[in-house]
Chains A and B, each alone.
Chain A
Amino acid sequence: MEWQWLPGHLDDLATATAQHLQLALLPVVLGLIISLPLGIVSVRWRWTYPPIFGIANLLYAIPSIALFVFMSQYVTGLSVVSAIIPLALFTLSVLVPNVVDGLKQVPDPVRQAATAVGFGTLRRLMQVELPIAVPVIVAGIRVATVASISLGSVAGIMGLGGLGELFQDGQQRDIPSEVFAGIVLTILLAFVCDVILVLVQRALTPWSRARKGAAA
């Protein structure tokens, strides 16, 4: 492989990476905003879970390129939004089950204790159940983020921006080093986001560290 293309194009790589961040991370935020209420509803009214879960999985089975095409041709045109909405829908298949699992694994005694102390339903949810569910939810966010970063490159071959454009241009003009750079940057981006999320999780659950310290 010849590497001479790379040195002169570092700013292009930086722009593509920044664009990709927006392209891939906004969907996760959107997906979370949708999944949290959906998950809470599924736990509270158990019968809603099978249909919600089914739809989320169905969305994931749709080939990504089809949704990108549909959005850009019929709905939101040639802008980043045409990629963001499908990516957000894809995150649902991971985030909804994880929100549900996270909430379900809150031990019943804890829930009952909270009610006994006088917490209302909403307060119990916000101050007890969700914090305990954080590890499982964050695990889902990690998977959704990595998947979103990876899937987001498909948007690039439709002219919607991001690291995928490196793959398109690299293929059209036969520049393997450009494609390689795109692959490496995608992996790096995913790795960095994953690490950040692990740190966020640690920050949000100080009790897990405390417990370990006490046991030692």
Chain B
Amino acid sequence: MKGTPATMRKLIGLTSLGAAALLALSACGGGTPAAQSTAKASSGTVTVGSANFPENVLLGEIYAQAMEGKGVKVEKKLNIGSREVYFRALKRGELSMLPEYNGALLTYLDPKATAVTTAETNTALKAKLPSGMALLDSAQAEDKDSVVVTKATAQKDHLTTLADLKPVAGKMVFGGPPEFKTRKQGIVGLKSEYGINFKSFKSLDTAGPITVSALSKGQIQAANLFTTDPAVLTKGFVVLKDPKNLFGAQNVTPVVNDKLVPANAKQVMNQVSAKLTTPELVAMMKKVNVDKDDPSDVAKQWLKDQSL
């Protein structure tokens, strides 16, 4: 522009530079999710998602790295949110694989489900999965939701099973993730199956440090923790028994978008599931939660140890 003052020229120059830099940065991000999905469908990239708690992030890492090791292109979108959030992404095709728990997923899709064993659960689940989705092999490893109290509470109120909670729950505050309150495998089921009515519910984190701390300090008297959580052992909490199997069979079971996941990827995942047992999972969770090792490192080490 003729006669443009120095200021404007500098301004235009700087702006162009800045915009170019930012565009370059954003080029790393890629296109819209829809465009990415179609691109991936044709190129066979598997998008691995996970729930927003460390164990599921670990499982996501394990399956993702196993597939990468066998030449499958993988993109990871971990630590998304509750099942209510990430399952939608799977349905939309934004994700093509999730390391799920068969019982929990079944109850989510069919709150009236009554399946108890792994076999029953998987059969029922296959029937209820939305079209286009497939279930891969279940691992032996299980991680169940559980209701947990401190040792002191258990001794004071003589609590060993969930049924024991019924008379005393009215003066107890329960702490868990927000979704626990509205789930069948949660407050809803505790009420309908065991007749338990807590005094109130406190939304905390997903069976994480805030819940553990609140339970230890007595701010809540009962909590939802996961059975593979090392905190249960280190804090001496008591896991209340579940004779009616409200929390069901909870085998780690990959759920995939049938078309977006190539056959060799499915095969790799089945190989991984075959080697995944509960003790293995518990040992890994100790490394992640107690030793503060990264889930990706723990996954890599385990896959190496298992020659996967």
Contact = CB atoms under 8 A, between A and B. Distances in A.
- A–B contact with Cβ pairs below 8 Å: the answer is yes
Closest 5 A/B residue pairs (Cβ): A77-B33, A174-B209, A131-B7, A22-B25, A159-B80
A8 B40 CA distance: 33
Interface residues of A, number: 35
Interface in A35-88: 73, 76-81
B166 interface: no
A26 interface: yes
A192 interface: no
B33 A78 contact: yes
A159 B77 CA distance: 7
A126 B78 CA distance: 47
Contact of B292 (A79, A175, A200): A175
Interface stretch (A93-101, A105-113, A164-172): A164-172
8 contacts: A22-B22, A77-B34, A78-B94, A79-B30, A127-B3, A131-B5, A159-B80, A173-B209
A173 B289 contact: yes
Contact of A168 (B5, B28, B79): B79
Contacts of B306: none
A143 interface: no
Contacts of A26: 22, 25-26
Interface string B111-144: 0000000000000000000000000000000000
Contact of A169 (B8, B32, B79, B95): B79
A126 B8 CA distance: 7
Contacts of A25: 22
A78 B77 contact: yes
B53 A172 contact: yes
Nearest to B37: A77
Contacts of A165: 79
Contacts of B5: 127, 131
B208 A204 contact: no
Interface in B42-83: 52-54, 77-81
A29 B81 contact: no
A186 to B, nearest CB: 18
Contact of A159 (B8, B19, B28, B81): B81
B271 to A, nearest CB: 28
Interface stretch (B85-93, B189-197, B216-224): B85-93
Contacts of B28: 22
A185 interface: no
